[in-house]
């Protein structure tokens, strides 16, 4: 199994191209099941999660062709992928496929809307909390679906004549359930209003793509989304928006290691709250024509307290990375996680590098140390694993991160992007 070896101590200088957002690409790919026409997505990142979803969509009958695959060293992996689901050949998403990635559960929306039924295994995914599906069930029920859970599967059935528009106010913000309800409502009879909807940029990106396919969605990007159902959707061409989590991760890497880097093909407005926290920690951040420039020279890392929240708050997907940064701050900082109840698994691994962190409920107290020392550590989930890489960049000596398949789920060519900026990061195959 591959491992990542980091020798800390180098500053980062250069340009890092930011990939298309994984968390936008996945729901966009799933939306292709809503039409018998071709949906073409540009700027799709080359990641294990995308490959897994390609297999899942294939199981439902999607014909998928990939263009523009560039394998050359130093070039982007961004790909254009065409999805055509002329006929849905199966409305069942089996355990073997769904258990590998939680987002694959989201096929329930399009299958139910287009075929009137779906049988989808309860999901798996990162072990960062219980992650139930109650909000999906309540939301789809509000559109008239009858749903039962049986033998580890969610069986959903639309009324005769299809789903019907309805009103549903989420008791808690859920990105995935907002995606699913929005997709399902595009083909419902009548108008649907979703209250307390997720405002994440990836939700707005999905709505823009669905509208290009002929849907009638408004209010996306706000907490009330209105969807007027249409009879059918057509194909479209859509470019996946930049990955704000990857952007924030590299910004934190530069803040940690020091240096001067341009993050290309991304937008600061996608992650204002996180960039503000990095600025307060002592890095200079400015916008360029094509992205963001981040500089940290000499000065120490200042302690900054953060609380994760749904967008536009500080993203939970950057919490572990920010903790990595705070391990070397010049004082005491606090990080409170409000989205997932078990998202502190990186704490004990960061401690192996010499970090001083104590946990009290959902809050971590980080006492900055002046030096970290490299050690063998284990990746526990997607975002936690990259926090170990960030810490390793500023640790003395060698840090060896095992179980890097977690990283491969969400970070395209991580070691190459960092190496090109002067970091000593390499993949080691056993
Ligand atoms: C998405 C992101 C993930 C990110 C998360 C929060 C993708 C592929 N994944 O995950 O990277 O960390 O948003 O920004 O886009 N919940 C319920 N019942 C439900 C559904 C969710 O209680 O039916 C809870 C979850 O357990 C969690 C919270 O709601 O505590 C938010 O989860 P949600 O926004 O749904 O996360 P995902 O869509 O799975």
pLDDT of residue 312: 97
* Per-residue pLDDT tens digits for 206-234: 999 999 999 999 999 999 999 999 999 99
From 126, 209, 299, 421, the catalytic residue: 126
Give the distance (Å) from ligand 1 centre to CA of residue 121.
17
Beta strand 395-396 pairing with 372-373: parallel
Give the distance (Å) from ligand 1 centre to CA of residue 313.
15
Kindly report each contact of residues 361-364 with a partner whose C-beta sits within 8 Å and lies 24 or more positions away, as own/partner.
362/336, 362/337, 362/338, 363/334, 363/335, 363/336, 363/337, 364/323, 364/334, 364/335, 364/336, 364/337
Ligand 1 pocket, residue 387 CB under 6 Å: no
Closest C-alpha among 41, 49, 51, 46 to residue 19: 46
Ligand 1 pocket, residue 106 CB under 6 Å: no
Mean pLDDT across the chain: 93
Helix axes 175-186, 108-115, angle to 10 degrees: 10
Ligand 1 pocket, residue 123 CB under 6 Å: no
* Per-residue pLDDT tens digits for 5-26: 999 999 999 999 999 999 999 9
Q: Burial of 286 by CB count in 10 Å (0-12 exposed, 13-18 middle, 19+ buried)?
A: exposed
Work out the pLDDT band at 73, boundaries 50, 70, 90: very low
Ligand 1 pocket, residue 174 CB under 6 Å: yes
Ligand 1 pocket, residue 76 CB under 6 Å: no
The 10 Å Cβ neighbour count of residue 250 is 26
Round to the nearest angstrom and report the end-to-end CA distance of the chain. Answer: 6
Would residue 209 show up in a list of annotated catalytic residues for this protein?
no
Give the distance (Å) from ligand 1 centre to CA of residue 11.
35
Give the distance (Å) from ligand 1 centre to CA of residue 306.
19
Q: What DSSP character marks residue 370?
A: S
Q: Which residues neighbour 263 within 8 Å (Cβ) at sequence distance 6 or greater?
A: 16, 18, 247, 250, 251, 291, 292, 293, 294
Strand partners, 120: 93, 154
Give the global pTM. 0.96
Contact 422, 10 (CB under 8 A): yes
Beta strand 191-195 pairing with 225-228: antiparallel
197 Rama class: left (phi>0) / alpha (psi -120 to 50) / beta: beta
Distance CA 325, CA 348 (A): 15
Q: Tell which atom from ligand 1 comes closest to the C-alpha of 179.
A: 38
Ligand 1 pocket, residue 340 CB under 6 Å: yes
Work out the pLDDT band at 69, boundaries 50, 70, 90: low
């Amino acid at each position: 199994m591959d491992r990542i070896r980091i020798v800390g101590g180098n500053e980062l200088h250069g340009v890092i191209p930011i990939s298309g957002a994984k968390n936008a690409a996945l729901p966009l790919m799933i939306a292709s099941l809503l039409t018998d026409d071709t949906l073409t997505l540009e700027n799709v990142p080359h990641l294990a999660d995308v490959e897994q979803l390609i297999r899942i969509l294939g199981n439902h009958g999607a014909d998928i062709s990939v263009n523009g695959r560039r394998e050359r060293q130093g070039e982007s992996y961004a790909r254009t992928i065409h999805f055509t689901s002329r006929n849905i050949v199966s409305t069942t998403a089996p355990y073997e496929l769904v258990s590998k990635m939680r987002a694959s559960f989201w096929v329930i929306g399009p299958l139910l809307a287009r075929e009137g039924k779906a049988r989808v295994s309860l999901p798996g995914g990162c072990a960062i909390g219980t992650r139930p599906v109650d909000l999906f069930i309540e939301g789809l029920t509000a559109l008239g679906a009858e749903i039962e859970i049986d033998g580890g599967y969610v069986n959903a059935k639309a009324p005769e004549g299809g789903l019907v528009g309805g009103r549903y106010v989420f008791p808690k913000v859920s990105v995935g359930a907002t995606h699913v309800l929005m997709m399902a409502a595009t083909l419902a009879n009548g108008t649907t209003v979703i209250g307390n909807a997720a405002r994440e940029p990836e939700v707005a990106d999905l709505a823009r793509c669905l509208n290009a396919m002929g849907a009638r969605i408004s209010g996306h990007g706000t907490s009330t989304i209105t969807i007027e159902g249409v009879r059918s959707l057509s194909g479209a061409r859509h470019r996946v928006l930049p990955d704000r989590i990857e952007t924030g991760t590299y910004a934190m890497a530069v803040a940690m290691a020091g240096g001067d880097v341009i993050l290309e093909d991304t937008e600061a407005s996608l992650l204002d709250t996180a960039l503000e926290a990095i600025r307060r920690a002592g890095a200079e951040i400015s916008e360029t024509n094509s992205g963001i420039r981040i500089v940290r020279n000499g000065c120490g890392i200042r302690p900054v307290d953060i609380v994760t929240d749904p967008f536009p708050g500080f993203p939970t997907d950057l919490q572990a990375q920010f903790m990595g940064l705070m391990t070397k701050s010049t004082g005491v900082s606090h990080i409170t996680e409000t989205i997932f109840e078990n998202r502190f698994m990186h704490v004990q691994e960061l401690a192996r590098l010499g970090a001083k962190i104590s946990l009290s409920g959902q809050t971590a107290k980080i006492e900055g140390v002046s030096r970290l020392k490299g050690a063998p550590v284990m990746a526990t989930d997607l975002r936690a694993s990259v926090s170990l890489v960030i810490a390793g960049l500023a640790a003395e000596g060698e840090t060896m991160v095992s179980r890097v398949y977690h990283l491969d789920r969400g970070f395209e060519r991580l070691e190459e992007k960092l190496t090109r900026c002067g970091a000593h990061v390499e993949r080691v195959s056993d």
